[in-house]
Amino acid sequence: MKKRLYLELENCIGCRSCLAACTQCGGHEQRNRNYVYDVNPFVNRQTMPLMCLHCVNPACARSCPAQAIQIHETGAVLSALVEKCIGCQNCTIACPYGIPKFDTEQNLMYKCDMCIDRSKDGIPPMCASVCPSNTIQWLSDEEIEAKQRQFNLNNGKWVTSMPYLEGETNVKVNLPGILQGVTKLF
């Protein structure tokens, strides 16, 4: 069954396990490709992870002159093909979320590839495997629907991606508690 990445941003406790796990994925060469941000650093400790959302119509790939960014059949938008990337950095400028990273020495862009060696066989990506707070989950579409029912968000505030993102994405994002004003138990 096809599963996808699902983020419940507000669960994040800022442990940055996902960053550490990202470095350990094959092919990531010890460098993480995701981010964790403080929402309001001077006031509280709320953090949120940010990573490539694997756009259905990815701006990064559309702007790449070398066709170095390929879209995998699972929908994952892959990191630049090492032999093709010509180092122009268009993709870093195009991505609406500022995700792709660029290595000047290697003249190469690298970005989240959804740990394609794992996820193509249905194994969750590294970040989802380690997240201790259930912020990053690996769910089937049915399970995501069940979530929607569980949070009973028929108030139009179910933020799975649209219209809060710039386009349809393969990763689904949600913020059930903050939007409902509900305190969650975990």
Partner 1 sequence: MQTNMSSQAKSGRSINDAFASHFAKSVFLTIVGLAVLTFIGTRMFTHIDLNLYGYMVGTIVFIGGFFYRFIAWGERPPTKNIIKKGLKLLFRRNTAKTAFNHLAIFDFIRNRGVYRWIQHILIGWGCVLACLVTFPLVFGWMYFTMEENGYYTIVLFGMNVMKVNAEGVIAFFSYNALNIAAVMVIAGVCMALYRRLKNMQARAEQTFIYDFLPLYMLLFVSITGLLLTFMNIVMHGHGQPIMSLIHQFSVIVTLIYLPFGKLAHIPFRPMSVLARNYREHYGEQSMKECKVCGDKFVSIEQSNDVIQVLGINDIEFEMKEGFHLAELCLPCRRKYRISRFSGFPTHQIKVKEANQNAKG
Per the CB < 8 A criterion, the answer to whether 68 and 81 are in contact is yes
Q: How far is CA 112 from CA 40, 41, 44, 122, 146, in A?
A: 25, 25, 28, 17, 27
Closest separation in Å from C-beta 84 to ligand SF4: 7
Residue 83 C-beta: closest distance to ligand SF4, Å: 11
Question: Considering beta carbons, is residue 24 or 57 the nearer one to ligand SF4?
Answer: 57
| Residue 73 Ramachandran class (φ > 0 left, ψ -120 to 50 alpha, else beta) | alpha
3-8 and 172-174 strand pairing: parallel
According to the binding rule CB under 6 A, does residue 17 interact with ligand SF4?
no
52 binds, among ligand SF4, partner 1, none (CB under 5 to 8 A by kind): ligand SF4
Residue 124 DSSP code: P
**According to the binding rule CB under 8 A, does residue 131 interact with partner 1?**
no
Q: Which of 3, 5, 6, 48 binds partner 1 (CB under 8 A)?
A: 48
- What separation in angstroms does the CA of 96 have from each of 22, 24, 155? 21, 26, 27
In the window 105-134, what residues touch ligand SF4 (CB under 6 A)?
A: 109, 111
Per the CB < 8 A criterion, the answer to whether 99 and 111 are in contact is: yes
> Would you give the binding string for ligand SF4 spanning residues 55-94, x where CB under 6 A is met?
x--xxx--xxxx-xx-------x--x----xxxxxxx---
Q: Is 54 in the site for ligand SF4 (CB under 6 A)?
A: yes
Q: Give CA–CA dist 126/92, Å, rounded.
A: 23
Binding test (CB under 8 A) with partner 1, winner from 3, 4, 6, 35:
35
Q: Which two tokens stand for residue 49?
A: 């992870």
- 145's contact among ligand SF4, partner 1, none, with CB below 5 to 8 A by partner kind, is none
3-state helix, strand, coil in the chain (%, to 5): 25, 15, 60
**Contacts with ligand SF4, residue ranges (CB under 6 A):** 52-55, 58-60, 63-66, 68-69, 77, 80, 85-91, 95, 97, 99-100, 109, 111
